Structure 1
Amino acid sequence: MVEVAADPLRDGAGPKPRPAGPPGAARAAWALLGLNVLGSAGAQTVFPIPRSLIQMVTMGALAAAFALALAVNPRASVRPSAFLFLLTLLLVPSVLSSATLESGFGALFRCGRLTLFVATLWLLSRWWDGGTAFVRTHVRMYFAVLVSVVAGLIVSPGAALPELYGGRLVGALWPLTPPQIGQYAAVVVGLSVLLALDRRTSWGGALAVVVPSLVLLVLTHTRTATIGMLAGLVLAIGSLVLTSSAARRFFAWTVVCAVVAAVGFASALQAWFLRGQSQEYFTSLTGRATVWDALLDAPRTLTERLFGTGLSDKSFGGLPIDNSWLAVYDEQGLTGTAIVAAMYLVLGGVALLRPPSPQRACALFLISYVGISSYTEAGLGDASAYLLHLALAASLLAAPAGDVPGTARPGMPAPPPRPVPRRARRLT
């Protein structure tokens, strides 16, 4: 039986301290969710790995994540969440469209995967209290992936920088594409900087993570991830400027460094940004616009317009869609698009209404990063790293257990605020 998290203040017990962070099993379940959404398609690896084996590993990680979450939360105690409610509602058009088998039996398999993914998030929502424990797990998880990329670069530079991808960095040990590596590096950099500004970790520990991640981001030549990271950090740090002297100093130094880089390395930055592409190819978003136009012009029945054609591999006519909103429209129709838009607006609205805090800054960074990336990357309508980023933002925006309406009894004092750690913790 599923139950909502109980009142932490029992009759006559008086105020109790807020519960500690999530147990290790819950954090391990979160990391396994990250492994599940790494994907099974990408560049050729140094040691060939059958795709079936990769899929077994990723799906096994999802099953293990659900089992761990259920083991550590056997009574299925959950926290109310509008984000998770809307994400669960997204299953309706997904199942309705996939049941027609227009996209094959793989559509039903993806529906089952999305269902298990959402169920695991519901079980983990018990520890969504505005804390940063899952943020640290998120950073460590993706930094471990980046370490594997570095290992592949050392073992076989030719495989890690193949001509097939124009010399851009790929995963040589695990099949990761340049956009994936760029995404992970950008998220690690952004969250690490924000944790360091709040003294949740030392600057030395943060730099040990940020510097190599930035190098990998440069080697991937991923423009979307770079723009998303910069815009997200500007918005997140800007939300702290009025309340944090460290944020003001960091913002000022960042502006100075950006001006110096723009003046002294303008030609190099332009060459990196264009990646040797022609102006015409660049304006068509490296050919994406052609696929988008074909998708929008394709004839559809009323049912397909409302509910889509079923969960697929995010491609149209054999070419990747590379746009979250068009992918959702193609697979889950206008109904799915409206649900995803509502999910995104709820997160953004709650983030803007929250008072300035490091948790709000991290959430703003993730929301803005995913919003920018959704224009050239797919993933908002299915189990993906982008949904995991938004789930992390939702956990950061959740009210602490003692602050949820209805959990404090009239006349009872509020629980004491969570103490700020005196000593910064290490990220790695």
Structure 2
Amino acid sequence: MRSADTNRDHTSKIVGTVWGLLILNTLGSAGARTIVPLPRSLIQMVTMGSLVAAFALALVVNPRVRIRASAYVFLLTLLLVPSLISSVDQGAGFGALFRCARLALFIGTLWLLSRWWDGSTTFVRHHIRMYFAVLASVAAGLVISPGAALPDLYGGRLVGALWPLTPPQIGQYAAVIIGLTVLLLLGRRTDRTSAAVVIVPSLVLLALTHTRTATLGLIIALVLAITSLILTSAAARRVFSWAVLCAAVAAVGFSSALQAWFLRGQSQENFASLTGRAKVWHALLAEPRTTSQNLFGTGLGDKSFGGLPIDNSWLAVYNEQGMTGIALVAAIIIVLGGVALLRPPSLSRACAIFLISYCAIASYTEAGLGDASPYLLHLALAASLLAAPAAATPLSTPEAPRRPIPRWARKSEVT
């Protein structure tokens, strides 16, 4: 029995390592200047190497390639079709084909991990731990060199000084683990001290990034998730009531301070154009396209147009994977959201609703739903939370099988 328990613990650690390597792969290679300059080629080698290692470890722990049905991963696999068609047909070059191979490896790893998607919060804990480690490196950079972590180039917003991370990235990671930790606390899956260790520093880092998308996404998604627990959780009802009260007080007493924080010193015109994003969007939509480009896009790229970031998942998908890609990404959100609404109230359902809602909200000003990214990992986590437990291979220790009763110990049968 000890040997079986040891094997399961070993498997659990490997699966957690694979998830962490996937997160490392999606951190990206472009961002702020670090204290110690890191060549972009070195960063790309680390991130791509982590994906290859994740796939290899997933094969080691799942050598028979046992997978389970997943509409989410199936739709992601279909998304490879327009990506490949556009990358080959439009002559997008080696870079686009390389990104297609990366996406294929990313999806393949998710298929291998789907064996352990059982509706539990196991992967939620892996998610929180890894992103908290990333935020710890951001905090360490802030302590070591405040000037590098709060550069004038980004308007004094927090960036990664040890690893090149932008303010929106840091804000996203902080918002996601704050929301998930709050839900674990409401579901009594963690204690207050452990939750405070994660939530308090993450809130500080989120505030220093001045990231409006992450802040609004956290608030709205968390409200939706807690609302889904109101009927079954007294703690959720108390938190919801206090949240409404605090929001009303903040709206009345700190309206000017909140407005200044959201404006970040920008003019009303710049704020209305979403920091210049709208100009890029209009230019992209006005660009003439062939029928093939409308259907399948121009090939996987760096999510930019005319040298400027697109910063909108739907327009980025339209640019690179066409209307076919938009249809598939919309199907992913609709399917996950529909399944979440049909599930009975539970902690796993609430966490899934939080993740789906956050990704849907962030998709308006952030790109990433059409390629290997943290947003696809957030949605993969939601898919694992919505999976039915019966068909999965649990990472936890099952009950010991009952031994057969000896013949001499059975009660005599009455004939």
* Alignment of structure 1 residues 35-114 onto 2, 5 Å: 35-100=24-89, 102-114=91-103
Cα distance in 1 for partners of 2:91, 2:274 equals 29
The Cα of 1:324 is off from its aligned counterpart by 0.2
**Correspondence 1:339 to 2:332:** no
The AA in structure 1 aligned to 2:115 is R
1:23 Cα deviation from its structure 2 partner = 1.4
Structure 1 position 291, deviation (Å): 0.4
**Residues 199-214 of structure 1: pairs in structure 2 closer than 5 A:** 199-214=188-203
Q: Quick check: 2:118–2:391 contact (8 Å CA) kept in 1?
A: no
Match of 2:89, SS? Answer: coil
1:252 & 1:184 partners in 2: Cα distance?
26
State the structure with more CA Rg. 2
Matches within 5 A, 1:130-149: 130-149=119-138
1:111 and 1:367 map into 2 onto residues whose CA distance is: 24
Q: 1:329-380 deviations in whole A, cap 9, x for unaligned? A: 0000111111111111100100011010000000000000000000000000
The amino acid that maps onto 2:23 is G
Which piece of structure 1 moves more, 265-274 or 316-325?
Answer: 265-274
Query: Any gaps of 5 or more consecutive residues in structure 2?
Result: 1-7, 400-415
TM-score, length of structure 2 as denominator length: 0.91
Q: Is contact 1:31-1:137 (8 Å) kept?
A: yes
For each residue in 1:56-106, what CA deviation from the matched residue of structure 2 results, as whole angstroms up to 9, or x when unmatched?
000000001001111000000001011111000000000111113543310
One-letter identity of the residue aligned with 1:199: R
Does residue 381 (structure 1) correspond to residue 370 (structure 2)? The answer is yes
Distance 1:107 1:394 in 2: 27
Measure the CA separation in 1 of the matches of 2:311 and 2:329.
Answer: 16
- Distance in 1 between residues matched to 2:307 and 2:87, nearest whole Å: 19
The structural deviation recorded for 1:20 is 8.6
Q: Where does 1:8-407 land on structure 2 (aligned, <5 Å)?
A: 23-100=12-89, 102-401=91-390
Aligned to 2:3: none
Report % sequence identity.
73
Q: How far does the alpha carbon of each residue in 1:155-205 deviate from its partner, in whole angstroms, 9 at most, with x for none?
A: 110010000000000000000000000000000100000001111110111
The count of corresponding residues between Structure 1 and Structure 2 is 388
Give the whole-Å Cα distance in 2 for the aligned partners of 1:379 and 1:348.
Answer: 18
CA distance in 2, matches of 1:262, 1:357: 31
Q: Which runs of 5+ in 1 are unaligned?
A: 1-18, 405-414, 417-428
SS in 1 for 2:119: coil
Give the Cα–Cα distance (whole angstroms) in 2 for the partners of residues 311 and 286 of structure 1: 25
Letter in 2 for 1:68: L
Q: What is the letter of the counterpart of residue 200 of structure 2?
A: V
> Match for residue 409 of structure 1?
none
Measured in 2, the distance between the counterparts of 1:260 and 1:103 equals: 53
Answer 1 or 2: which has greater helix percent: 2
The CA distance in 2 between the partners of 1:51 and 1:402, in whole Å, is 43
TM-score by length of 1: 0.89
CA offset digits 1:245-276 (Å, max 9, x no partner):
11111111222222222222221111001101
Letter in 2 for 1:326: L
Verify the 8 A CA contact 1:21 1:127 in the aligned structure 2.
no
